[in-house]
Chains A and B, each alone.
Chain A
Amino acid sequence: MVWLGRLALALAGISTVYAAAAGLWAYRTGDVRWRESARGAAVGTAVALTAAVMALEVALVGGDFSVWAVYNHTNRGLPLAYRMTALWGGDSGSVLFWGWILSLYTAYVAGIGWRKERRMTPLVVPMLAGLLVFFTGMSNLVVDPFRVVPGSPTDGNGLEPLLQNPVMTIHPPAMYTGLIGLAVPFAFYLAALWQRLPGRVWTPVVRRWLLWSWMFLSAAIVLGGWWAYMELGWGGYWEWDPVENASLLPWLTATAFLHTLQVEDRRGMFRAVGAALITATFLLTLVGTYITRSGVLPNSVHAFAGTGVGDYFVGLLWAVLAGTVVVLVLRRDQLVDRIPLVDTFSREGVYFLMSFFLAVLAAVVLFGTFYPVLSRALTGTAVVLQVGFFNTLSVPLFLGLVVLMGAAPAVAWRSARWRETARRLSGAWVAAIAGLVLAYGWGARTPAQLFGDTVVFFAAGSMIQEFVRGTRARQRSTREPWPQALWGLVRADRRRWGGYVSHLAFLVIVLGVIGSHTGNYTVTETFRQGQTEAVGPYRVTFTGLTDVPGPTYETTQANIVVNGPGYHNATATPGLQFFPGNAQPVAHVAILGGWWQDFYAVLEGYTPGGQTVNLQFFVNPMVSWIWIGMYLLVAGSLVALGGPERPRSAVRAGAGWLPVPAPLRERRDEA
């Protein structure tokens, strides 16, 4: 398998170099044979990389410990699922996995995508193939996944204990699919810019690819939080860890670009902003990989992953940046807005402000993440910024975004009127007041909590009002019952209504985040066997300590019985997992989850003999709303992705569209 894997990797390297060169030559000469050959080579690269991945998987599953990636990240007792997912447990497998996903995207664009879009694709394929040259080059020359271990080891070192969690079988692939997928809209954007194509041609294609990647990236970020919540045992889900930030950064700029795309699509505006955002988005995916894989930030929970491939990603980052700057400079005439901003109080003005907030957030997170590197370069001492820095700056910006999210649907394009906008938001105002009252009743007392809940309800009210207004309008014209009218409404413009569902999902997540910081508390208690203690409204009884053998580790777990709101004699078993070769045990938290609050228990330590244990309890309200929001967000994105590129109503209306004189004010500006 080693031999076959290496052959496949070498073939993939040659094939992708050829695809990039032949694709560019075909674009230059217009020769169909070279074009088709480049397409074939792009598909061939994916076939070869698939073979390489399969070869490594066979080695992982079969326990071929003569292969370094197998020896270093698996062992005999590792369950099958973790053996398979050990593919991305180390650098060599991760780079191979990254390249494989990129090759699948490239093959899809070259094979299936070509039939749908033929203007940009001839340039997109060589661009993506060029990017693949880097990854296949890395796998062939720098981090060989089929490196052979000297001697004949009969067992391996095992998988990093923190990665032995079910969520870790989904989180990394989702993250890779999202992050790597961002290369595709970036390539389409550059291809459109280079060919001076109007926004109407490229925005639907770029939006679809961007939304696809954004959906996976969003889900992966939440899944990462879920993993941290279950695995790290500190009762939280987000700590502004450098690697968490690494995934958030491209998400922020991608979200901003997704909104400026609407303005480009409708008005041909904010072109320079859009160019900066999509460029930043792709570059930040490389920055994120650098953070994860370089170990440059030792204050990360992912520091175990760092080995040294990060420097190569810095080289790639500079190369991509240089190439993009050249394209942007040569096509700077395309970055001039066709229409000036008529009125700052307009839908496009709101979108600009949203993009500005998101860009500032990204700048804050980037600065805070790299502050240890900056401070070490300037003062010789690495200073790590605490959670307070990020919270202080990001919370107001996020809440500002929520306000804008709620206001946007009611603000008219071109020029809006305050009174009319306020009137359209009547339902949102009522919801905001209800939110304030509910938050106070729930126990919120700090200004951030009260204001946060108010604006979340305001935005949710605005979204729901849009659904109600649209459904009623449809009912009036079709006489349908409201469920049918709502269904027809969403089907008619999936992009818009799917977007609103995603917005509602984001609000559910924000509500969960605010809720988890409202009325939460933690208690640490020492128990003797049989002792019962009160933890808030709960009564907890420690019944004994048990040793439970696992597949590759042994767990010492405390058996506790919980009685209280929502639980009657519920058992929970927080424990400590001892992995061979690891000095520190790994916490195995016990979570009694619920709609309104989680009862979260951690075994901190115990005396020899197990007569006395130290247990820490967290009561975390509404954390489950964050996970529910993730599912809702994916559903909303799928609704938006499932529809045609243009809403049916617009297509129908377009057929009989009469020329409408531009507003006088706009004409005056033109003059």
Chain B
Amino acid sequence: MTPVGWVLAVALVVGVVGLAVVPFVRAKPAETGQGAPRSDVRAAVAAELRAKYCLWCGEPYPTADQTLCGSCGRPREEAEA
């Protein structure tokens, strides 16, 4: 193994391990709490989707006050229920 080979090998190990480890080193205590519990994340995503898309056909509601889906014609309340 040549000196260049050793340098490359060490750089490779440090680089690959570093990429996985750095997020733990850089995270401050306050940031570690960012990961909300999975159920909360899911609920937030579901609420966002309900607000934006028809749950029957997946088409978007163009406006917040629209009562019927523009694609399948089903009432919004029914989908939300």
Contacts and interface: CB of A to CB of B under 8 A. Distances in A.
Q: Do A and B come from one complex?
A: yes
Interface of A: 1, 3-4, 7-8, 11-12, 15, 18-19, 22, 26-41, 43-45, 47-48, 51, 119, 195, 197-201, 265-268, 338-339, 654-663, 666-667, 670
Contacts of A339: 56-57, 72
B47 to A, nearest CB: 13
**A-B interface, 3 closest residue pairs, ranked by CB to CB distance from nearest:** A662-B73, A36-B23, A40-B19
Contact of B58 (A36, A200, A660): A200
Interface of B: 1, 5, 8-9, 12-13, 15-24, 27, 31-32, 34-38, 40-42, 45, 49, 53, 55-60, 62-63, 66-74
Given A45-B16, A48-B16, A198-B55, 4 more contacts: A30-B37, A31-B35, A200-B59, A661-B68
A40 B23 contact: yes
A1 B2 CA distance: 9
A1 B60 CA distance: 55
Contacts of B45: 119, 195
Contact of B15 (A18, A37, A44, A670): A44
Contacts of B69: 659
A15 B41 CA distance: 27
Nearest to A39: B23
Contacts of B27: 32-33, 36
A366 B23 CA distance: 47
A22 B69 CA distance: 40
Contacts of B56: 268, 338-339
Among B1, B37, B72, which residue has the most Cβ atoms of chain A within 10 A?
B72
A401 B40 CA distance: 47
A41 B20 contact: yes
A7 B9 contact: yes
A666 B69 CA distance: 13
A4 B5 contact: yes
B12 A11 contact: yes
B70 A658 contact: yes
Contacts of A36: 23, 27
B60 A200 contact: yes
Given A41-B19, A670-B74, A30 B38 contact: yes
A198 B58 contact: yes
Nearest to A660: B70
Nearest to A653: B62
A125 B27 CA distance: 21
A654 B12 contact: no
A44 B19 contact: yes
Contacts of B68: 659, 661
B67 to A, nearest CB: 7
A662 B54 CA distance: 14
A47 B19 contact: yes
A199 B58 CA distance: 6
B81 to A, nearest CB: 16
Nearest to B8: A4
B67 A31 contact: no
9 contacts: A22-B20, A29-B37, A40-B21, A43-B19, A200-B60, A201-B49, A201-B58, A654-B60, A670-B74
A483 B59 CA distance: 34
A338 B56 CA distance: 6
Nearest to A657: B62
A666 B74 CA distance: 10
Contact of B53 (A37, A45, A200): A200
Contacts of B59: 200
B12 A657 contact: no
Contacts of B70: 657-660
B51 to A, nearest CB: 12
Contacts of A8: 12
A339 B68 CA distance: 15
Nearest to A337: B57
B74 to A, nearest CB: 7
B49 A197 contact: yes
A38 B35 CA distance: 14
Contacts of A656: 62
A29 B20 contact: no
A227 B13 CA distance: 41
Nearest to A118: B45
Nearest to A51: B12
Contact of B72 (A38, A657, A662): A662
Contacts of A30: 35-38, 40-41
Given A198-B58, A655-B62, A32 B31 contact: yes
Contact of A29 (B5, B35, B42): B35
Given A30-B38, A267-B57, A268-B57, A15 B16 contact: yes
Nearest to B17: A44
A176 B36 CA distance: 39
B13 A32 contact: no
B41 to A, nearest CB: 6
B35 A338 contact: no
Contacts of B63: 657
A550 B37 CA distance: 67
Nearest to B34: A32
Nearest to B24: A33
A277 to B, nearest CB: 18
Contacts of B19: 40-41, 43-44, 47
A339 B37 CA distance: 34
A660 B59 CA distance: 13
Given A29-B35, A30-B36, A4 B9 contact: yes
A657 B69 CA distance: 11
Contacts of A33: 23-24, 27, 31-32, 35
